[in-house]
Amino acid sequence: MTSASRNKRELSAAVEAGFDVKVFCDDKTDKVAGMSEDIPVIFDDVIPIDYSIPKLKRWWLIIKNDLTVMNRTKKLDCDVLSCHDLSSLRTAYLAFLFKRKKPKLIYDSHEFELGRNTSRGKLGTAMIKFWEGKLIKKSVFTIVVSDGIADELQKIYKMDNRPVVIRSIPNKWSIDHSVCDSIRKEIMSKFSSDVDTLIMFHGNLGNGNGIEDVIPALADLPGVGLALLGRKIDDRLFDSFFDIAQKNGVEDRVIYLPAVDINELWKYVGAADIEMMMIVPIVRSHYLCLPNKMFESIQSEVPVIASDLPEMVRVVNEYNIGLTCHPGDTAGIAACIRKMIEDRQMYEGFKTNLAKAKDELCWECEKLKLMEAFRLLE
């Protein structure tokens, strides 16, 4: 719950709607940090799984954890359980399966579950489809993050009611440009060569973000520096980014900035000239994604260069806030960055449009759909 900004926003909406809220998760903190309300946290007491443990023993630990969490879930005194992935939903359903009084279920799917993992075999996929199809029908409503995912789920499971689309949008941010300028100077000082244009990627520094395609583009863009702001997911993958930079002779124009608190994020994203989000559709979930960073960039008033994936294209084109190109196309990425730099009229148009878009693409507007869905629980 430390960095679960979407969950915290939904909790706030639930409190605003009049619910008495508790959080049941694998976080040992007593309260949800960053909430204006004192929302208690109930620790589920699971055992961390070490994947170096032999597979047979590991499966026993997984089963033991599932039974532990299910038993503790059964003891929760609640009218509604909002479950934030399929495994949580399955646990909630099974925990109350033989109890007379059952809580109402909400399925909050943060990704396209059927297409989020490349390592699943046919049996694993079939099991996911079985449980998701069964439990969607047991839920009062389902929440997804994009229209594309909503359409897919409704089609696959022949749902009478379309999932509720609640995009991962932050609260409206008030930007102090003088603070952003100060952070910009600080960031620029970290480059070991002259940089006058700052492009940025922010978010989890993991696989499928297209960072390895952006770095080589710098070779044809003198004076452009890339800042990677976020959390390292895989040390080996992270190190490979700097190997790529060295091979392309741009190691002096790529820097790493550790992740910052969501409340501080605007200062850093707002310091950039261009936000990069070249997500590669290595799984179907990526193809249908509409990432937090899109809306965080909008709230920071920074033009974007995004992958030409349907949900991202829809937002970029509707609000005219940047450019799109094919993920993996290093030459196309370089061309988009160059166009942003050279066509100042177009760039300033994007900035003007961003100032307007942030009034609509903010949590204060987005939460109204969630508040409306909560009425189904009455």
Query: What was the pLDDT predicted at 234?
Result: 87
**Quick one: tokens of 55?**
């597979």
pLDDT tens digits, 52-66: 778 777 888 888 888
**Quick one: tokens of 359?**
């009034």
CB 147 within 8 A of CB 165: yes
What is the mean pLDDT of the segment spanning 369-373? 96
Q: 33 pLDDT exceeds 80?
A: no
Q: Which residue has the higher pLDDT, 17 or 29?
A: 17
- % pLDDT > 70, the chain: 98
- 43 phi, psi to nearest 5 deg: -80, 130
- Dihedral angle sign, alpha carbons of residues 51, 56, 61, 65: positive
Q: 72 pLDDT exceeds 70?
A: yes
What is the mean pLDDT of the segment spanning 234-247? 94
Query: What was the pLDDT predicted at 185?
Result: 97
CA distance 272 to 361: 20
**Quick one: tokens of 189?**
């000082």
CB 351 within 8 A of CB 161: no
Return the CATH superfamily for domain 5-170+364-377: Glycogen Phosphorylase B; (3.40.50.2000)
- 10 phi, psi to nearest 5 deg: -65, -35
- 307 phi, psi to nearest 5 deg: -65, 150
- Rg value, the chain, Cα: 22
Q: Which residues pair with residue 232 across a beta bridge?
A: 205
Query: What was the pLDDT predicted at 118?
Result: 65
Q: Do domains 5-170+364-377 and 177-360 have the same CATH topology?
A: yes
Q: 115 pLDDT exceeds 70?
A: yes
Please count the CA atoms within 13 angstroms of the CA of 268 that sit on its side-chain side.
21
Low-confidence winner among 22-31, 32-41, 78-87 (lowest mean pLDDT) = 32-41
Binning pLDDT at 50, 70 and 90, where does residue 25 land? confident
CA distance 265 to 103: 37
pTM of the entire predicted model: 0.91
Q: List, as one string, the DSSP characters of 263-310.
A: TTHHHHHTT-SEEEE----SSHHHHT---HHHHHHHHTT--EEEE--H
Q: Where are the domains of the chain?
A: 5-170+364-377, 177-360
Q: 166 pLDDT exceeds 80?
A: yes
Question: If residue 337 lies in a helix (H) or strand (E), which one and from where to where?
Answer: helix 330-342
CB 131 within 8 A of CB 109: no
**Quick one: tokens of 317?**
């084109």
Binning pLDDT at 50, 70 and 90, where does residue 29 land? confident
Torsion of CA 317, 203, 284, 48, to 10 degrees: -160
pLDDT tens digits, 265-296: 999 999 999 999 999 999 999 999 999 999 99
Query: What was the pLDDT predicted at 94?
Result: 96
Q: 358 pLDDT exceeds 80?
A: yes
Fold topology of 177-360: Rossmann fold (3.40.50)
**How far apart, in Å, are the Cα atoms of 120 and each of 50, 124, 137?**
19, 5, 24
